[in-house]
Amino acid sequence: MILLLISINHKKTMKNLKLKHKNIISPEILKSQLPKQGGMGFLFHPTDWQTLSFIYENVEEKSPEFEEQLWQMPPFVASEMYYNNQVIGANIIMPIPIEMWIGSPTRLKKFRQNYFFPTLKLINDCNIKIIGMGASTPYLCNYGLIERPIETPYLTTGHGATSATLLKLTHLACKKTNCNYKNIKLAIFGASGRLGKAVSNYIAKYDPPQELVLIDLEDKISLLKNHAEDLLQNSNRKDLKLSIHGFTSNKPLPKFDGAIIVSNNSAPFLTTEDLRKSKFWIDDSHPRGANIEAEIASRNDTLYIECYVRGPEKFDTNFPFRLPSNRDCYTCCAEGFIAWQEGIASDFVVGIPDPDKIKLIDKLLNKHDFNLGPLSGKNGDLID
């Protein structure tokens, strides 16, 4: 009876708990601060349970009751973004961690209906004209192709800027680990997905290494085979080698020199020993390819880094991302910024961007002074 009473009281406490935002801005205030022609936005969700503490003061331990309360919390504007000391946009958050919806069609539909569509209206009310889509939000809206209830804001998935930056980071990682890029075996995890296809198409056409190793889940093997054939046909390197691997937790990984991770997964899947088998890893997956313990344990044996860019002088995201400074941002945010700066009045990157579109976006990143920042781990630690 005592245990039952404690349980009932705990549920009542959870039911009555009001999550306290660390910061929240009304659409009216933001609209008054933005340029008259409108601003840009960065839309994202928590990538793990720990990042909830970036936006709420009183985050509870994970439980069914607390998850239910999170489903009741509306999307909100968390902070302004600045450029040249002027408000030019905002960070907009849908406060449901990826693990609560990524693996369930029912919850995905719920998230889309209860959060994504209402968030578009919130963004439109702020006079934000285009949004860069962070974390797994591209997956949420079928990579910008889903039918939407309102025309604006326009969307850009970030996959053009991400693909361009991943190639640059691969060259830098090769330099840091004494690899000759033209001679390496480069693995791409999540190769059958939209971003996986975009980055492998881009690399194969414009700057192919000796071999690409395409990796995805075992049930994606047929997709990997078809993609490998397309890459061989379109590559500018006629001696490019392609191999494929169906990933399962009980099957050893193939040999490769470096890896790009662009998968959407509900939980980390790489072990410390997996990380030690490759000279470098560039992780743009959500939530992450390897857990923090594996990342730290393997730090003396391999290079495991985050994918991001450093923005121009006086660019300020004004949000506590796991990045070296507020001038640094994820590539999907950078893509939203350059689309806004270029006056794009339509969706910018949706679906799978072709290599020529990615090359154009790479030039725009350079034009607007988005460059590689210092090497940073997925956990936010600077790496010498």
Q: How many independent structural domains does the chain possess?
A: 2
**Average pLDDT along the chain, 384 residues, taken 10 residues at a time:** 35 57 97 97 94 93 92 96 98 95 92 94 98 95 94 97 98 98 98 98 98 97 98 95 96 97 90 98 95 96 98 97 97 98 98 98 98 96 88
pLDDT at site 16? 53
State which of 265, 280, 309 marks the end of a domain: 309
Residues 136 and 156 in one domain: yes
Residues 250 and 124 in one domain: no
Residues 250 and 141 in one domain: no
Give 309's strand partners: 329
Residues 32 and 122 in one domain: yes
CA torsion angle 282 287 288 289 (round to 10): -100
Residues 156 and 173 in one domain: no
Residue 2 included in any domain: no
Which range marks the domain in which residue 46 is found?
A: 19-160+310-367
Residue 263 included in any domain: yes
Beta carbons within 10 angstroms of residue 45's beta carbon: 26
State which of 309, 324, 354 marks the end of a domain: 309
Residues 172 and 153 in one domain: no
Residue 4 included in any domain: no
Residues 183 and 292 in one domain: yes
Residue 116 included in any domain: yes
Residue 327 included in any domain: yes
Residues 177 and 305 in one domain: yes
Residues 131 and 29 in one domain: yes
Residues 244 and 171 in one domain: yes
pLDDT at site 119? 97
State which of 277, 309, 341 marks the end of a domain: 309
Residue 256 included in any domain: yes
Domain of 244, CATH number, reads 3.40.50.720
pLDDT at site 17? 56
Residues 91 and 227 in one domain: no
Residues 154 and 287 in one domain: no
Sign of CA pseudo-dihedral 376, 307, 24, 112: negative
Residue 304 included in any domain: yes
H or E element, residue 176 = helix 159-176
Residue 245 included in any domain: yes
Q: What is the three-class DSSP state of 138? A: helix
Instruction: Look up residue 177 and give its DSSP letter.
Output: T
CB neighbour class for 312 (10 Å; exposed up to 12, middle 13-18, buried from 19): middle
pLDDT at site 14? 40
Please give, one letter per residue, the 3-state secondary structure of 58-122: CCCCCCHHHHHHHHHCCCEEEEEEEECCEEEEEEEECCCCHHHCCCCHHHHHHHHHHHHHHHHHH
